[in-house]
Amino acid sequence: MDLDELFETAEGAVVLTGFDDAIIGLAEEFGNGPRILYSREKILQILQERDEMSFNDALDFYDFNILGMYVGEQNPIILYETLNKE
């Protein structure tokens, strides 16, 4: 699925502008429409590379401006990848 199809499928979902490269898919929840699923690690990487932030500055920005954001029931979902699959 390309991004246009993803955005069409998740119509009405909140999109994090400038973080398309951090999208890893869609998530569904009973009683709620599809929401866009983002990778926390990719968001942090984008902030560090694109905005030239240190890791700590990127983490502070992420915690306050992205994770702490609430704009409705179709808020984006952030995947915190912690499992080592090896």
Q: Where are the domains of the chain?
A: 3-79
Q: Cα separation of 57 and 44, whole Å?
A: 9
Nearby residues of 2 by Cβ (< 8 Å), 6 or more positions away? none
Cβ 35 vs Cβ 75: under 8 Å = yes
Q: Answer yes or no: is pLDDT of 66 > 70.
A: yes
Percent with pLDDT over 70 in the chain: 95
The 3-state DSSP class for residue 35 equals strand
pLDDT at 53 over 90: yes
Q: Partners of 29 in the beta sheet?
A: 32
pTM strictly above 0.75:
yes
Task: Tell me the Cα Rg of the chain.
Answer: 13
User: CA 78 to CA 86: how far, in whole Å?
Assistant: 22
